[in-house]
Copies of this chain bind each other. A is one copy, B any other.
Amino acid sequence: MDWTKKVSRLMTNWKREVELRNLGYKVYGNPFSTSTRRVLAVLLEKGLSYESITVDLKSGEQKTESFLSLNVKSRAITQYIAYVHSARGTQLLYLQSHETMAILTVWMEIEAHQFDPFASKLTWEQAIKPIYGLETDKEVVKENEANLEKVLDVYEKRLGKYKFLACNTFTLADLHHLPNIQYLLGTPTKRLFEDRPKVRKWVTEITGREAWKMACDHEKYWFGKQMK
């Protein structure tokens, strides 16, 4: 099973490589995939070294599914890295307060299960499908935008109270949103973020982070780190 290998890689190889041989992480992915970018963003926020291994994404229906499933796994990987390397770079968690960690967990869950389902479909329809020469389904876009609007109304309220979603510092709860938001800023869905002042400010702040800009610069930070 594919994930078995991934888990054992996570738990055995990574630890061994990073701690004993100090070779850095190996990232298997594709610089256009939202999950790969999510993991890259964390490595770059932490200032960790890594090598990239490009995995071809297959087109068609199966692709969608593996794309979505990879997205889920990326959040386990980001949390893994954030915990193991909690002492270096951007903290990304808020380990000094168990109460804030509790709230952070809830917002990571909201991103994964309320924001992502709609945002991922919008990214897929408007940003990924055109790459594969597939046609955008306007009905799907309309329906998912309507749902995303309701989610963003909650965000607007939350961001009126705190600078970031979980607390007043940037955490994984914010970072996990970046890959979809970045794609959606290049689509008409952009207006959903711009129409809401607090959300707009938050989007500008998080997409402007140095590590994120590096994660998006795939020539340099993906293909430039390619394993021989």
- Residues of A in contact with B (beta carbons under 8 Å apart): 1, 3-4, 7, 10-11, 15, 69, 72-73, 75-76, 79-84, 86, 95, 98-99, 101-103, 105-106, 109-110, 113-114, 150-151, 154
Q: Judge whether B4 and A154 touch: CB under 8 Å.
A: yes
A86 to B98, CA, bound (A): 7
Q: Which residues on the B side are within 8 Å of A7 (C-beta)?
A: 106, 110, 154
Question: Nearest Cβ distance between residue A80 and chain B, in whole angstroms?
Answer: 4
Instruction: State the Cβ distance, A175 to closest chain B Cβ, in Å.
Output: 15
Measured between beta carbons, the chain B residues less than 8 angstroms from A86 are 98
Nearest CB on B from A159, distance (A): 14
The answer on a CB contact under 8 Å between A102 and B75 is: no
Q: Residue A84 contacts which of B102, B109, B110, B150 (CB distance < 8 angstroms)?
A: B102
B105 A79 Cβ-Cβ under 8 A: yes
- A191 to B156: give the CA distance in the assembly, Å: 50
Other than the given A79-B109, A84-B102, 10 more pairs (CB < 8 A) read A3-B114, A7-B110, A11-B106, A76-B110, A80-B102, A80-B105, A83-B98, A83-B101, A84-B98, A95-B98
